Chains A and B, each alone.
Chain A
Amino acid sequence: MSLPIPAALFLLLQTAAVVPADSAEAGPAAGAAAAVAADQAADAEPVVEWTPTWSVGVSEAGEHPLIRSVIQERLTRWLQKLPGAQLDESVDLTRAEFRRAARKSLRRYALFIDRAAADVLSIQVLDEQDLAGLASLDLQCPGCDTKGWEVRLNEGMSALIDALGPLLKASEPKPDVPAVVVEPDVAKGDASLSFQFRELGSGLKLIGVSVTVSQGEQTLCETNSEAKGKARCVELVAGDYEWAASFTGYKPATGKVTLAAGEAIFRPVDLEPTRVNRFSTTIRGRGPSREVTRVRLTREELEDIPGTGGDVVRAVQSLPGVARPPGLSPLIIIRGSEPDDSLFMIDGFRTSLLYHLTGQGVVENETVELLDFVPSNFSARFGRSHGGVVEVTTRDKHAEEWTRRIQTDVYAGSVFAAGPVGKKDMLWLSFRRSWIDAVLPLVADVLPLDFAVAPRFYDYFFKWDRKISGGGRLGMVYQGALDKVKFAIDQPPDFDPSVRGDISTLTMFHRIRPYASFKIGDWRHKSSVNIQLESFNVNLAQAFKLTVENYRKSWRHEALRKLSDSMDLVLGVDYQQIYYNVNGKASSRPQEGGGRGSFARTESEVFDSPGVVVRPGAYSEARYKSGLWESLLGLRVDTDGANWAFYPQPRFLTKRYLTDKRFDLRFGLGAYSQPPRPDETISPFGNPGLFWEHAGHVQVGGGFTDPGGFSIESSLFGKRVIDAVGNAQSQDEAQGTQGLGGLGNVGEVRGYGAEFLIRQRKADFPVSGFIAYTISRAERKDREGEDWRLFSFDQTHVLTAVATYKWTTRFSTGFRYRFASANPETPNLGSLFDSRTGTYIPIPGAPFSERPPPFWQLDVRADYKILRPGWRLQLYLDLQNATSRQNIEGISYNTDYTEQEYSYGLPLIPSFGIKGVF
Chain B
Amino acid sequence: MFGYQLKTAWRSLGRNPGHTAIVAGGIALGVAVSTLFATVRHSFAKDPIPGRSHVLYNVRLDNWGPNEPYPGGGPPTQVTYQDMANLMRSDIPVRQSGTFKSALYVFPDPTMGRPTKELIRLCFADFFTMFAVPFRYGGPWGKAQDEKAEQVVVLGKQMNDRLFGGGNSVGRTVRIEDREFKVVGVLDDWRPNLKIYDLTQNPVQEPEGIFAPFGLLQPMDLRTAGNSDGWKTQDSPGQASFLASENTWIQFWVELPTEDQVARYKAFVDAYTLEQKKLGRFQRPLNNKVQTVGEWMAERRVVPKEATAMMAVSLLFLLICALNLIGLLLGKFLARAPEIGVRRAMGARRLDVFVQHIVECELIALAGGAIGLALSVGGLWVVNQWTRAITQRSDFFQIDWKMAAFAALAGLVAGLVAGVYPALRVCRIAPATHLRMQ
Do A and B form a real pair? Answer: no
